[in-house]
Structure formats: structure tokens, C-alpha cells
Chains A and B, each alone.
Chain A
Amino acid sequence: MARYLITRAWQSALTLVLSTIVVFLGVRALPGDPALALAGEDRSPEALEAIRRHYGLDQPLPVQFAQYVERVVQGDFGESIRTGIPVSSMLSTALPVTAELAVLAILLATALGVGAGVLAAVRRGHPAEWLANGLALVGLSVPHFWLGLLAILYLSVATGLFPASGFVPLLEDPVDNLHHVVLPAVILGTGLAAIIMRQTRSAMLDSLSSDYVRTAKAKGLRPRAVITRHALRNSLIVVVTIVGLQLGGLISGAVVTEQIFGLPGFGKMTIDAVFQRDYPVIQAVVLLTATAYIVINFLVDLLYSVIDPRIRVTGDQS
């Protein structure tokens, strides 16, 4: 157990270091003088000189990297070259929006995906299985941003049931907040729900044909108890892993969903930054995403090895 955790920890740390190097070199890979890119509007020689000094661009690369890491660890991601606002304060207003959207989407997707997956596995050959399988395939194939457009067109604009865009902070007015976030969360969750459904169904089919389920049935347990207490419990491990692995997809999805619904989150900040060539913002966004992905997947692995003792023993997660 301890050995497995240590291995995973150093692997994650190594990946974190490598991705930091990639992000660091990314801005240096820009065509031309990075100081010019970082300067934005003010391109006087004095301003450029100040930027070179501030970012240590006159130093050798390893020194620059060390300085970069030192600043980042202290939460200093520089300032937006468009607005002059520190990137860290932009993040502190944008991240809660995205976090709320993502958590809500994961909850909805898990509830829907696990429910439909169990149904499809238990009711084999029943129309319910066909319906669940069909919906999952559509969920995998539909472009979510398009679904978002349709939702705005036919649910928000036409009926006025949901606001078409905008955001109200959770602490300011929780009900209104939910009213703004629930539709984007449903849209964001559809793809994840489809993936969770298919994996749950597959894991449930495996569990249902296993010896321990046969034993449970032979003991005379009610079918409901066999399904929930035995088969489903073992299949849930799969869901935990999927949420970790699909985190990247979820972040990508959140960027688009926020853009469509005009939510002032991480994604909208990212897209705006790309079109404004706001490099400090882009750099911070890419680094934070990579860090979040690595840390959360490490935590998922920890959780996974706590839930499933087999992983601890073999250390194999293929």
C-alpha cells in the first residue's frame, strides 16, 4: 500500500514538474521577443526593459525557470496585459463559477448515468435497455455546444423558463444562482452521463454474472438487495475512475458551455485571453488546468486504492 502510494506520488510530482516546464517554455516558443508579447500596448523601450527585468528575461533559462516557479508557488501569475488586473484575482472570481458548474454537472451525470446503466444491465432485452443504450449513444455523439444553443433557443428565448445568459453569485442569491447554472450544468453533464452509463452497464453485467452475485441470490436475498448491495457497490468503483479520467473532457466542455451561456468563469476568461493574446492569463490557465488534472487524478487513485484492496496489492490499474 505505502509503496504504491509513494510510486504514484512521485509519478504525479514528476508529471507536474514536466508540465510546468512545458508551460514555461510555451511562452518562450512565441515567435519574436517574449517581452513584446508580455508588454501589450505599452511598447516603449523603458517598458520592455522593465518587463525583461521583472520576468528575468535577461537571465539564463534555468534561472528564469526557477524564478517562474518561485512566483507561481506564491500565487503570482503576473498581470493581465490587457487590463493590468493581477491574474490571481481574475482567477479567484472565475474559478468558483466553473467549480460550481463542474460539480453540478458531475452530480447530475452520475445520478443519470448510474441509474440508466443499472437499468440497462438489469433489464436486458427490455425496451428500457434499448432506450438507455440509444440515449447514451446520442449523448456521446451530440455536440454539446449545439445542444446548448438549442436549449437557449427553445427553452430560454422561446419560453423564458431559464435565463439565456448571465450569472448570479451563489452567496448573493442561491435560488437565482441555481436558476442560471442548472441548464448549463445539464448540457455539460450529458456527455459524461453517457460515458458513465456505458461503463456502469458494462461493469454491472460483469458483476451480475459473477460468483458472489450468484451466491447472494442463492442465499435467498431479494433481487433489489442483490443489485444494490452487491453488484452496484462493486461497479461504483468504475464511476470514481471515470470522473477522474474525464476531468479533462469536463474542463474542455466547461470552457465551451460558459462561452455559450455567458457565464463569467474560467473558460470564458480563457477564450477571451486567447483572442486578446493575453499571454500571462493563458499561461496561468494552462498551468492551473494541468495541475488540477494531475492532483485530482492522484486523489482519485488514492480513493480507488482505499475502496478496492486489489489495487493496493498488485499496484496494477490497467
Chain B
Amino acid sequence: MTVLSVPMADTGTASVTRRTRILRRLRRNPLAVVSFVVLALAALVAVLSPWLAPYAVEQTDFAHTFAPPGTPGHVLGTDDLGRDVLSRIMLGARASLEVAILAVATSLVVGVPLGLAAGYFRAWDAVISRFTDLLLAFPFLIMAVGLAAIRGASLTNAAVAVGIAQIPGVIRVVRSDTLRLKSLDFVAAAVVDGASDLWVLARHILPNATSVILVQATVAIPTAILGEAVLSFLGLGIQPPAPSLGTMLATAQQFAARAPWAAVLPGVVIMGLALAFNVFGDALRDALDPKGDRR
């Protein structure tokens, strides 16, 4: 196969110029800039939410239940128990991001080494492929159902279920990039030079595979956010009264006709977060694509 831009070993100026080129491409893409700003703001709000939120999340106010958005003191209104929707959305978004990052981290910790091994050692490929098939056979919700049945519903179990479901994707991407890198001259040179397999993997293949891993992680996060929301909505994830965008929607469903804002706003936030990650992931993929201007 022909490779248009030959990845360099991670030393020297080549990788620096490549990085500047990628950053320049990202900066020139307005969608990338907008989505990055949205994500940075969301991260900031999530981190600072315990201080930013105008009310304590579990603080009820039975004198002001179902206050519509725009009510003084409650910008986004209140729910059936008079709890402030804005405060709950802020902390709910924080919980969503926590679960998503935990899940994606889990999938990378397991998936990256397995992907490297499957791509680099022929003998391991078959075994790891069967493992991947096995994971794929259990759809994430069914896996979550099984985990919840065995260990009970919790935030950790939701993150584990979402994370496990993403392992096959990570393995596949890392494996195919390892296969590609393995066939390149600089890896062959390192092997001829007497480098051990572990050294080649850690110093030559992994650093050059980071871009595909990064893209995979960026597109996995919105899937994880949606996964957490689904599980919490069904009662298999974060347990009320702890705020989560999914549990907020589950409660709001019961009084949706009376207080539609409580059912609409958390969904808008979930969609906004997922959309920003997806748009940024697309932009990142385009910026990293050596074929650059094709799309």
C-alpha cells in the first residue's frame, strides 16, 4: 500500500511541524473552533458546578413547584419538587461527563494494549479477535442489564457497561493502525537495530498511533454520554436523587405535559454536548487525514 505521509519516529522536528499543521487546519475550520469553545465552556461549568450552581441540587421548595423558565430566581424554572432546573442540569452534565470520561478511559486501558498485541503479534490476533466477537455479542444495554442484575444499578456499573461496549471499537482501530505502522520502514529499521518487541511497540508504534486513538476517544465520548443518559433514564445508572441528565428526563416524563421545560432542557444539553463532541471529532479526523482536502 502507498502511504502519502510517512509517519516519523517521535523524535526530531517532523512531529512538531506535523502538530502545527494539524492545529492550523483545526483553527481554520470554523466548526472545529465553535465546537471546541462549546466543549471548553461545558468542561469549565462541569468542574465549577458545585460553586456555580445557584441552588443546592436536592434543595426542594414546595411553594414554587413547576415554576416556568424565566421565573425570577429560577432562570430555567423548577421541577415537581420545586428544585432548580439550572442547578440540576449543571451537576447532571458534570455526572454525564464523569461517566463518559471514566467509560472511555476504561475502554482505552483495556483496548489499546489488546489492539497493539493483535496487530503486532500474529499468534495473538485470533484469540483477541474471538474476545472482541464475544464482547460484541452482548449489546451494551443487555450488558448493562446483566451487570445491574448481578451487581445492582449504580454510576460505576453504568460506566463499566458503557466502557466495555466500547472496547471492541478501540481494539479494531488500534489493531489496524498497528498493522499499517508495522509494515513501514522505520519499524523494520528498529527491528534490524535489535530493538525488542516491547520497545518497538512503546517507542515507535504507540506514539504514531496516538492520532487514531485520539479520534476514536473523541467520537466515543458522545456515545458514552448517550449511553449513560439511557441507563440513568431506565433506572440502571445514576440513582436519584443524585442529579443526572438521564434521571431528570425519567422524572420529568411523569409530568411532561404540565412542565415541558423539565423534559426538554436536559435533553437539549445532552444533545448539545454529544453534538459538540461529534463535530469536533469529525474536524479532528479531517485535520489528521493525510489526504486532507478530500472531504
Contact = CB atoms under 8 A, between A and B. Distances in A.
Interface of A: 11-12, 14-15, 18-19, 22, 26, 29-31, 137-138, 140-143, 145-147, 149-150, 152-153, 157, 205, 247-249, 251-252, 255-256, 259-260, 270-271, 274-275, 277, 279, 282, 285-286, 289-290, 293-294, 297, 318
Interface of chain B: mostly helix, strand, loop or mixed: helix
B229 A143 contact: yes
B149 A282 contact: yes
Contacts of A260: 253
B134 interface: yes
A290 B138 contact: yes
A18 B230 contact: no
Nearest to A293: B137
B270 interface: yes
Contacts of A147: 267
Counting from the closest, the 6 A-B pairs by CB-CB distance are A248-B139, A252-B141, A146-B267, A141-B274, A141-B275, A290-B137
A286 B264 contact: no
B139 A249 contact: yes
A274 B263 CA distance: 25
A256 B141 contact: yes
Contact of A145 (B134, B233, B257, B260): B233
A255 B263 CA distance: 20
Contacts of B256: 149, 152-153
B130 A18 contact: yes
Nearest to A15: B133
Interface string B124-150: 000001100110111111100110111
Given A140-B222, A256-B230, A274-B149, A19 B137 contact: yes
Contacts of B263: 146, 149-150, 153
Give the one of A141, A285, A318 with max B CB within 10 A. A141
10 contacts: A15-B134, A22-B134, A145-B230, A145-B249, A150-B263, A248-B138, A252-B142, A255-B142, A259-B234, A286-B142
Contacts of A255: 141-142, 145, 234
B130 A15 contact: yes
Contacts of A251: 139, 141-142
Contacts of B294: 205
B253 A149 contact: yes
A152 B20 CA distance: 49
B249 A256 contact: no
B139 A138 contact: no
Interface in B249-273: 249, 252-253, 256-257, 260, 263-264, 266-267, 270-271
A19 B138 contact: yes
A256 B271 contact: no
A153 B256 CA distance: 7
Given A137-B275, A274-B149, A143 B138 contact: no
B267 A279 contact: no
Given A255-B142, A277-B149, 4 more contacts: A143-B229, A150-B264, A248-B138, A293-B137
B176 interface: yes
Nearest to B139: A248
B275 A138 contact: yes
Nearest to A14: B130
B236 interface: yes
Contacts of A149: 249, 252-253, 256, 263, 267
B12 to A, nearest CB: 31
B278 A137 contact: yes
Given A143-B230, A153-B256, A285-B142, A137 B279 contact: yes
B7 interface: no
A318 B176 contact: yes
B138 A270 contact: no
B174 interface: no
Interface string B212-232: 000000000010001001100
Contacts of B58: none
Contacts of B274: 140-143
Contacts of A146: 229, 249, 263, 266-267, 270-271
B98 interface: no
Contacts of A19: 134, 137-138
A289 B142 contact: yes
Interface string B64-106: 0000000000000000000000000000000000000000000
B235 interface: yes
Interface in B199-222: 222
Given A137-B275, A149-B263, A286-B145, A157 B133 contact: no
